Structure 1
Amino acid sequence: MPVPRHIIEQFKQLIPPLNGSLHKGQSGRVAVLGGALDYTGAPFFASMSALRFGADLSHVICSPTAASAIKSYSPDLIVHPILREEESPDSLKPTLSSLLSRLHVLIIGPGLGREDYMQRFAKLALSLAKEQGMFIVLDADALWMVGQDLALIRGYRRAVLTPNVAEFKRLSEQADIDPNTPPKERAMQLSRVLGGVTVLQKGGEDIIATHTGGASAKDREASKVSTSQEENTEEQISIDTPGGLKRCGGQGDILSGSVGTVLAWGKCYEDGAYGDKTLPSSRISLLAAAAGSIVTRTASKRAFAKHGRGVVTQDMLGEIGGAFAESFVAEGDKGWGASNL
């Protein structure tokens, strides 16, 4: 089933123009929080895919034990080794709050792990990001974290969750979703229980669901969601864009970085950096999930076509630009600006 045309056209409104009118940072400032002793690849893939998708700046907030490795992977990344095991959340809070205030989106989870100190810092970052009205992507062990306390994310509609099959099953159980619910209705059920959080359920086809009712006035204010007629709507779409035939570890990190970049573009659009601001903010999370899914699946297909069974996630990074153009740039358009050059 093709992606609804209105989704594509609305997404194109969020694409920053490539006409020399923007300065550095107005095409998105993204951060990935994750990266501990055993996990350095995941935050690299998420943050690097953000750059390959089109973000201007990509930061990694990590443990000092992961920083040297991540820095060595690419000089394009800005690495902040501030998640020290011996530090308390209270002492870290001013530094982390100041850093997040300069960014558009926070991706929590790639390479996070489940060590107590990393989980504490992730909770702190999530709280600060919500206070600042940031868009948020939650993946991997950040999903495990919010599964332990769904109140951490409930009602925050500027968040996108990206669970795989196992993570979605666990979250559904933690949210008391009826196991007899038809499979294609479970993502929407989870979004409802979580008060309108956008759910991107990864699988043979990606199911994206968002329910915009049920949040408190405080959550609406934090999420900057309109109290108009959009408040009680819900929407679900499926993305069955062909991908590669091998599923290697790390592709979910590519997706997180891709979704995060579109959310960052959405924040720039919302702030008036470009565009006519006719698109409501409540659409941005759904559009980001859809565009990120399409490009990630297309990049996987392109990498698999070149490398076959031997494809690895690193091969996908170089395909993101081509996947974006294949998916969204019409013949005759110059660059990635699509409809708004």
Structure 2
Amino acid sequence: MVPKPDLSKVKQIIPPLSGHLHKGQAGRIGIIGGSEEYTGAPYFSGISSMKLGADLCHVFCEPTAATAIKSYSPDLIVHPYMQTSPQSDISSKDAADRISSVFSRLHVLVVGPGLSRDELMQDTARRLIHNAKQKDMAIVVDADGLFLVQHHPETVQGYKKAILTPNVVEFSRLCEAMKVDTKDKDDRKLAQRLSHALGGVTVVQKGEMDIIANERNVFISDTNGGLKRMGGQGDILSGTIATFLAWGKAYQDGVWKHDNAIHPDDIPLYAAWSACNIVRESSRRAFEKYGRAVLTSHMLEEIGPSYSLFTKDRLP
């Protein structure tokens, strides 16, 4: 029997709407991604984090992607510091050092949206994950960030503040890389085995239902979603997870009064489960309005109402 998450605990993570809080205390997010071919992914991830309630979002991208991402929204702070192999004489260490200098202003790092598989971009991301771990930052790894983990699992192995968000294909490749036995078709057990193989990171196995697992617990998000799968929905999920993780950081730091009901090791689990529910509901609402014509961008305006429905008796 899969335990049902306690929604009252989730509500404790959410910061109150209060004039006593100042800019940044409700979440400062960093997105590592955005290449010449992929500019939408970091935008979806970043703007979703803010639509849910984060105060600030920084996007660290490749220079040719920066102008496009800036044009999508003035709400995102865009840094064109990432570099691709053919056009740069800047080393991955130099790029990572420059980006890491901003980490003191961030709570959470999202690695992967639109990153590409360029060797220099991948190596820079690997260094950035290492530097974020040194700063004890929560990390969400998605998309081409999972390609990095597949080939360099030691990058996140044993780091319990990391959340991986693989789709079906990415999950299979990670299991193969970590030699996880997939003969048992119980997906709930497989997600937990992958978490164990990776040293206790939280795994979000996306699919018909989302399975969220760490070594100790498995949660299920089976809220009805939309019936059309568009590129970018996973990016929205990575951004919303990041906001919940940022709120979890403020919760741990005692930014507002609460009863310390959630163990720090369980914050990633609750953050991922909450985000999955909100994103699935956003997808359902957007599809209900637009049907086959639905776009990922339509989901953005549904994040706020979906949050309100999810929390029910809390102000949005």
- TM-score tier after normalising by the smaller chain length: over 0.9
Corresponding position of 2:178: 175
Q: 1:292 aligns with which of 275, 286, 290?
A: 275
Q: Aligned equivalents of 1:27 and 1:71: distance in 2?
A: 23
Q: Aligned equivalents of 2:94 and 2:18: distance in 1?
A: 43
Q: CA deviation at 1:122?
A: 0.4
Q: 1:199 aligns with which of 175, 194, 203?
A: 203
What percentage of residue pairs aligned between the two structures are identical?
A: 48
Q: CA deviation at 1:2?
A: 10
Structure 1 ranges of 4+ moved more than 3 A = none
Q: CA deviation at 1:182?
A: 2.5
Q: Aligned equivalents of 2:294 and 2:186: distance in 1?
A: 30
Corresponding position of 1:222: none
Q: Aligned equivalents of 1:151 and 1:2: distance in 2?
A: 29
The one-letter amino acid paired with 2:124 is F
Corresponding position of 1:187: 191
Q: 2:252 aligns with which of 270, 275, 278?
A: 270
Judged with a 3 Å threshold, the aligned counterparts in structure 2 of structure 1 residues 177 and 57 are, in CA distance, closer, same or farther, namely: same
Aligned residues: 310
Corresponding position of 1:91: 94
Q: Once superposed, what is the RMSD of the aligned Cα atoms?
A: 1.4
Deviations 1:107-127 (A, max 9, x none): 000000000111011011101
Corresponding position of 1:315: 298
Q: Aligned equivalents of 1:253 and 1:74: distance in 2?
A: 16
TM-score, normalising length from structure 1? 0.88
| Kept after mapping to 2: 8 A contact 1:3/1:239 | no
Deviations 1:179-229 (A, max 9, x none): 212232110000000110000000000001101xxxxxxxxxxxxxxxxxx
TM-score, normalising length from structure 2? 0.95
Q: Aligned equivalents of 1:94 and 1:173: distance in 2?
A: 32
| Kept after mapping to 2: 8 A contact 1:139/1:163 | yes
Corresponding position of 1:228: none
Q: Aligned equivalents of 1:198 and 1:92: distance in 2?
A: 28
Unaligned runs of 5+ in 2: none
Corresponding position of 1:280: 263
Moved more, 275-284 or 141-150: 275-284
The one-letter amino acid paired with 1:32 is I
Q: CA deviation at 1:94?
A: 3.4
Q: CA deviation at 1:177?
A: 1.0
Q: Aligned equivalents of 2:198 and 2:60: distance in 1?
A: 27
Q: CA deviation at 1:102?
A: 1.1
Corresponding position of 1:259: 241
Q: Aligned equivalents of 1:157 and 1:307: distance in 2?
A: 39
| Kept after mapping to 2: 8 A contact 1:2/1:240 | no
| Kept after mapping to 2: 8 A contact 1:269/1:277 | no
Judged with a 3 Å threshold, the aligned counterparts in structure 2 of structure 1 residues 123 and 5 are, in CA distance, closer, same or farther, namely: closer
Q: Aligned equivalents of 1:49 and 1:94: distance in 2?
A: 27
1:303 and 2:306 correspond: no
1:240 and 2:222 correspond: yes
Q: Report the 3-state secondary structure (helix = DSSP H, G, I; strand = E; otherwise coil) of the residue aligned with 1:275.
A: coil
| Kept after mapping to 2: 8 A contact 1:36/1:65 | yes
